[in-house]
Protein backbone atom coordinates (compact mmCIF):
# COMPACT_ATOMS: atom_id res chain seq x y z
CA UNK A 1 0.00 0.00 0.00
CA UNK A 2 2.76 2.46 0.93
CA UNK A 3 4.62 1.74 -2.31
CA UNK A 4 1.42 2.30 -4.27
CA UNK A 5 0.86 5.72 -2.68
CA UNK A 6 4.47 6.77 -3.36
CA UNK A 7 4.17 5.66 -7.00
CA UNK A 8 0.82 7.45 -7.25
CA UNK A 9 2.27 10.78 -6.07
CA UNK A 10 5.40 10.47 -8.24
CA UNK A 11 3.36 9.73 -11.37
CA UNK A 12 0.86 12.56 -10.83
CA UNK A 13 3.65 15.11 -10.48
CA UNK A 14 5.72 13.64 -13.32
CA UNK A 15 2.84 13.38 -15.78
CA UNK A 16 1.59 16.88 -15.00
CA UNK A 17 5.01 18.33 -15.80
CA UNK A 18 5.42 15.88 -18.67
CA UNK A 19 2.16 16.94 -20.31
CA UNK A 20 3.07 20.63 -20.01
CA UNK A 21 6.57 20.22 -21.43
CA UNK A 22 5.85 17.45 -23.93
CA UNK A 23 8.31 15.13 -22.20
CA UNK A 24 5.69 12.57 -21.30
CA UNK A 25 6.46 12.09 -17.62
CA UNK A 26 8.52 8.94 -18.05
CA UNK A 27 11.73 10.92 -18.09
CA UNK A 28 10.94 11.74 -14.45
CA UNK A 29 9.14 8.54 -13.44
CA UNK A 30 11.87 6.14 -14.59
CA UNK A 31 14.85 7.66 -12.70
CA UNK A 32 12.77 8.43 -9.58
CA UNK A 33 11.45 4.85 -9.38
CA UNK A 34 14.99 3.60 -10.04
CA UNK A 35 16.10 5.76 -7.11
CA UNK A 36 13.36 4.33 -4.86
CA UNK A 37 14.56 0.84 -5.94
CA UNK A 38 11.38 -0.99 -4.93
CA UNK A 39 11.18 -2.95 -8.21
CA UNK A 40 13.43 -4.42 -10.91
CA UNK A 41 14.52 -2.59 -14.08
CA UNK A 42 11.93 -4.43 -16.19
CA UNK A 43 9.07 -3.71 -13.77
CA UNK A 44 9.96 -0.01 -13.44
CA UNK A 45 10.14 0.32 -17.25
CA UNK A 46 6.72 -1.33 -17.57
CA UNK A 47 5.02 0.91 -15.00
CA UNK A 48 6.63 3.97 -16.58
CA UNK A 49 5.42 2.93 -20.05
CA UNK A 50 1.86 2.37 -18.84
CA UNK A 51 1.84 5.73 -17.06
CA UNK A 52 3.02 7.75 -20.06
CA UNK A 53 0.75 5.79 -22.41
CA UNK A 54 -2.33 6.64 -20.37
CA UNK A 55 -1.12 10.24 -19.94
CA UNK A 56 -0.68 10.61 -23.69
CA UNK A 57 -4.32 9.64 -24.26
CA UNK A 58 -5.79 12.00 -21.67
CA UNK A 59 -3.46 14.88 -22.56
CA UNK A 60 -4.13 14.63 -26.31
CA UNK A 61 -7.89 14.53 -25.74
CA UNK A 62 -7.67 17.65 -23.59
CA UNK A 63 -5.46 19.50 -26.09
CA UNK A 64 -7.76 18.71 -29.04
CA UNK A 65 -10.82 19.83 -27.09
CA UNK A 66 -8.93 23.02 -26.29
CA UNK A 67 -8.60 23.82 -29.99
CA UNK A 68 -5.06 22.63 -30.74
CA UNK A 69 -4.77 21.40 -34.35
CA UNK A 70 -2.19 19.09 -35.93
CA UNK A 71 -1.16 18.23 -39.49
CA UNK A 72 -2.64 14.83 -40.22
CA UNK A 73 -0.07 13.68 -42.80
CA UNK A 74 2.86 14.74 -40.66
CA UNK A 75 1.46 13.08 -37.54
CA UNK A 76 0.53 9.88 -39.38
CA UNK A 77 4.04 9.27 -40.72
CA UNK A 78 5.77 10.26 -37.47
CA UNK A 79 3.34 7.93 -35.65
CA UNK A 80 4.09 5.12 -38.11
CA UNK A 81 7.80 5.58 -37.51
CA UNK A 82 7.30 5.65 -33.75
CA UNK A 83 5.37 2.35 -33.86
CA UNK A 84 8.20 0.71 -35.80
CA UNK A 85 10.78 2.25 -33.48
CA UNK A 86 8.76 1.22 -30.43
CA UNK A 87 8.76 -2.44 -31.49
CA UNK A 88 12.49 -2.30 -32.23
CA UNK A 89 13.28 -0.54 -28.94
CA UNK A 90 11.39 -3.08 -26.86
CA UNK A 91 13.06 -6.02 -28.63
CA UNK A 92 16.43 -4.38 -27.95
CA UNK A 93 15.53 -3.92 -24.28
CA UNK A 94 14.46 -7.59 -23.98
CA UNK A 95 17.67 -8.64 -25.76
CA UNK A 96 19.72 -6.76 -23.16
CA UNK A 97 17.77 -8.32 -20.28
CA UNK A 98 18.15 -11.83 -21.69
CA UNK A 99 21.82 -11.60 -22.65
CA UNK A 100 23.34 -9.59 -19.81
CA UNK A 101 23.59 -11.58 -16.60
CA UNK A 102 23.35 -8.49 -14.39
CA UNK A 103 20.49 -5.96 -14.58
CA UNK A 104 23.02 -3.39 -13.38
CA UNK A 105 24.49 -3.18 -16.88
CA UNK A 106 21.08 -2.74 -18.52
CA UNK A 107 20.23 0.06 -16.10
CA UNK A 108 23.60 1.75 -16.74
CA UNK A 109 22.95 1.65 -20.51
CA UNK A 110 19.55 3.27 -19.96
CA UNK A 111 21.00 5.93 -17.68
CA UNK A 112 23.87 6.68 -20.07
CA UNK A 113 21.63 7.09 -23.12
CA UNK A 114 19.14 9.16 -21.11
CA UNK A 115 21.91 11.54 -20.00
CA UNK A 116 23.08 11.96 -23.62
CA UNK A 117 19.55 12.82 -24.80
CA UNK A 118 19.07 15.20 -21.86
CA UNK A 119 22.27 17.08 -22.64
CA UNK A 120 21.36 17.36 -26.33
CA UNK A 121 17.91 18.70 -25.48
CA UNK A 122 19.22 21.16 -22.88
CA UNK A 123 21.92 22.69 -25.08
CA UNK A 124 19.73 22.76 -28.17
CA UNK A 125 16.82 24.45 -26.43
CA UNK A 126 18.88 26.89 -24.35
CA UNK A 127 21.17 28.12 -27.11
CA UNK A 128 18.49 28.08 -29.84
CA UNK A 129 20.70 26.21 -32.26
CA UNK A 130 19.99 25.83 -35.95
CA UNK A 131 16.58 24.57 -37.08
CA UNK A 132 16.07 22.66 -40.31
CA UNK A 133 12.86 22.76 -42.34
CA UNK A 134 12.83 19.17 -43.56
CA UNK A 135 9.78 17.93 -45.42
CA UNK A 136 8.61 14.64 -46.88
CA UNK A 137 7.36 11.33 -45.55
CA UNK A 138 10.89 9.84 -45.39
CA UNK A 139 12.03 12.38 -42.80
CA UNK A 140 8.74 12.17 -40.89
CA UNK A 141 9.14 8.38 -40.63
CA UNK A 142 12.83 8.57 -39.68
CA UNK A 143 12.06 11.08 -36.93
CA UNK A 144 9.28 8.90 -35.54
CA UNK A 145 11.50 5.83 -35.69
CA UNK A 146 14.27 7.49 -33.66
CA UNK A 147 11.81 8.80 -31.09
CA UNK A 148 9.94 5.50 -30.79
CA UNK A 149 13.14 3.49 -30.41
CA UNK A 150 14.56 5.67 -27.64
CA UNK A 151 11.17 5.98 -25.95
CA UNK A 152 10.70 2.22 -25.74
CA UNK A 153 14.31 1.26 -25.01
CA UNK A 154 14.78 3.78 -22.22
CA UNK A 155 11.30 3.37 -20.71
CA UNK A 156 10.94 7.14 -20.43
CA UNK A 157 8.09 7.63 -22.90
CA UNK A 158 10.18 9.88 -25.10
CA UNK A 159 11.43 12.59 -22.86
CA UNK A 160 13.03 15.84 -23.95
CA UNK A 161 14.51 14.32 -27.11
CA UNK A 162 11.02 14.31 -28.66
CA UNK A 163 10.46 18.05 -28.44
CA UNK A 164 14.05 18.95 -29.34
CA UNK A 165 14.24 16.65 -32.38
CA UNK A 166 10.89 17.87 -33.72
CA UNK A 167 12.04 21.48 -33.46
CA UNK A 168 15.50 20.64 -34.84
CA UNK A 169 14.30 18.72 -37.90
CA UNK A 170 11.10 20.55 -38.81
CA UNK A 171 11.21 23.98 -37.12
CA UNK A 172 7.99 23.27 -35.20
CA UNK A 173 7.03 25.90 -32.55
CA UNK A 174 7.63 24.55 -29.05
CA UNK A 175 3.98 24.43 -27.94
CA UNK A 176 2.97 22.51 -31.07
CA UNK A 177 6.06 20.31 -30.71
CA UNK A 178 4.86 19.30 -27.23
CA UNK A 179 1.53 18.13 -28.72
CA UNK A 180 3.22 16.13 -31.50
CA UNK A 181 5.56 14.71 -28.87
CA UNK A 182 2.69 13.47 -26.72
CA UNK A 183 1.00 11.92 -29.78
CA UNK A 184 4.27 10.17 -30.69
CA UNK A 185 4.55 8.85 -27.15
CA UNK A 186 1.08 7.29 -27.46
CA UNK A 187 2.04 5.24 -30.52
CA UNK A 188 5.51 4.20 -29.35
CA UNK A 189 4.22 3.03 -25.96
CA UNK A 190 1.26 1.27 -27.60
CA UNK A 191 3.80 -0.64 -29.71
CA UNK A 192 5.84 -1.51 -26.63
CA UNK A 193 2.85 -2.72 -24.59
CA UNK A 194 1.55 -4.80 -27.53
CA UNK A 195 5.00 -6.36 -27.94
CA UNK A 196 5.03 -7.32 -24.26
CA UNK A 197 1.49 -8.73 -24.52
CA UNK A 198 2.34 -11.00 -27.46
CA UNK A 199 5.83 -12.09 -26.34
CA UNK A 200 6.79 -12.29 -22.66
CA UNK A 201 3.31 -11.46 -21.35
CA UNK A 202 2.45 -9.57 -18.16
CA UNK A 203 3.05 -12.41 -15.71
CA UNK A 204 6.22 -10.92 -14.21
CA UNK A 205 4.46 -7.68 -13.22
CA UNK A 206 2.29 -6.93 -10.19
CA UNK A 207 -0.78 -5.73 -12.11
CA UNK A 208 -2.54 -4.63 -8.90
CA UNK A 209 -0.16 -1.63 -8.94
CA UNK A 210 -1.80 -0.45 -12.16
CA UNK A 211 -4.70 0.96 -10.11
CA UNK A 212 -2.30 3.58 -8.74
CA UNK A 213 -0.37 3.98 -11.99
CA UNK A 214 -3.36 4.49 -14.30
CA UNK A 215 -5.33 6.78 -11.98
CA UNK A 216 -2.31 8.99 -11.36
CA UNK A 217 -1.52 9.08 -15.11
CA UNK A 218 -5.06 10.23 -15.95
CA UNK A 219 -5.01 13.00 -13.36
CA UNK A 220 -1.54 14.16 -14.38
CA UNK A 221 -2.41 14.15 -18.09
CA UNK A 222 -5.54 16.27 -17.67
CA UNK A 223 -3.95 18.76 -15.28
CA UNK A 224 -0.83 19.13 -17.41
CA UNK A 225 -2.79 19.66 -20.64
CA UNK A 226 -5.00 22.28 -18.97
CA UNK A 227 -1.99 24.22 -17.67
CA UNK A 228 -0.24 23.94 -21.06
CA UNK A 229 -3.15 25.71 -22.78
CA UNK A 230 -2.91 28.85 -20.64
CA UNK A 231 0.83 29.45 -20.27
CA UNK A 232 3.13 31.13 -22.79
CA UNK A 233 5.66 29.37 -25.07
CA UNK A 234 8.44 31.09 -23.11
CA UNK A 235 7.15 29.58 -19.87
CA UNK A 236 6.88 26.14 -21.50
CA UNK A 237 10.52 26.47 -22.58
CA UNK A 238 11.57 27.44 -19.02
CA UNK A 239 9.71 24.47 -17.51
CA UNK A 240 11.26 22.25 -20.16
CA UNK A 241 14.82 23.29 -19.23
CA UNK A 242 14.17 23.15 -15.48
CA UNK A 243 12.87 19.58 -15.72
CA UNK A 244 15.85 18.55 -17.87
CA UNK A 245 18.27 19.85 -15.23
CA UNK A 246 16.39 18.11 -12.42
CA UNK A 247 16.23 14.77 -14.23
CA UNK A 248 19.85 15.08 -15.32
CA UNK A 249 20.91 15.37 -11.67
CA UNK A 250 18.77 12.37 -10.67
CA UNK A 251 20.24 10.25 -13.47
CA UNK A 252 23.80 11.29 -12.61
CA UNK A 253 23.18 10.35 -8.98
CA UNK A 254 21.65 6.99 -9.94
CA UNK A 255 24.56 6.25 -12.28
CA UNK A 256 27.12 7.21 -9.64
CA UNK A 257 25.34 5.09 -7.02
CA UNK A 258 25.21 2.05 -9.31
CA UNK A 259 28.80 2.41 -10.48
CA UNK A 260 30.32 2.82 -7.05
Q: What stretch of H or E contains 61?
A: helix 41-65
Total Cβ atoms within 10 A of residue 113: 16
Is the confidence at residue 141, as pLDDT, over 90? yes
**What number is the average pLDDT over the span 222-234?**
81
CB atoms within 10 A of CB 95: 11
Q: By residue range, what is the domain housing residue 227?
A: 2-259
How many domains does the chain divide into? 1
CA angle 250, 255, 260 (to 5 degrees): 130
Q: Do 209 and 4 contact (CB within 8 A), yes or no?
A: yes
Residue 144 near residue 81, CB atoms below 8 Å: yes
Phi, psi of 201 (to 5 degrees): 80, 180
Confidence of residue 24 (pLDDT cuts 50, 70, 90): low
Residue 129 banded pLDDT, cuts 50, 70, 90: confident
Q: What is the mean pLDDT of residues 81-101?
A: 87
> The whole model's pTM is what?
0.78
- Residue 214 has a pLDDT of 92
Q: Tell me what pLDDT residue 67 has.
A: 67
What's the rounded mean pLDDT across residues 23-46?
82
Residue 109 has pLDDT above 90, yes or no: no
| Helix (H/G/I), strand (E/B), else coil: 22 | coil
Distance, in Å, from the CA atom of 188 to the CA atom of 200, rounded to the nearest integer, reads 18
Give the confidence band of 157 by pLDDT, cuts at 50, 70, 90: low
Instruction: Give yes or no for residue 60 having a pLDDT over 60.
Output: yes
Residue 8 pLDDT exceeds 90: yes
Amino acid sequence: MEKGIVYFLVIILANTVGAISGMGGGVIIKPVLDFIAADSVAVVSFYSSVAVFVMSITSTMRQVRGGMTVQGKFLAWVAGGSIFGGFLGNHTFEFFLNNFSDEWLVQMIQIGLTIITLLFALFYNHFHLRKFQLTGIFWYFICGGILGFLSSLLGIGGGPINVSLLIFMFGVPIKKATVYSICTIFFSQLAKLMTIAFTSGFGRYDLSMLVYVVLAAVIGGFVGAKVSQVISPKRVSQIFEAVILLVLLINLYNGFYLFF
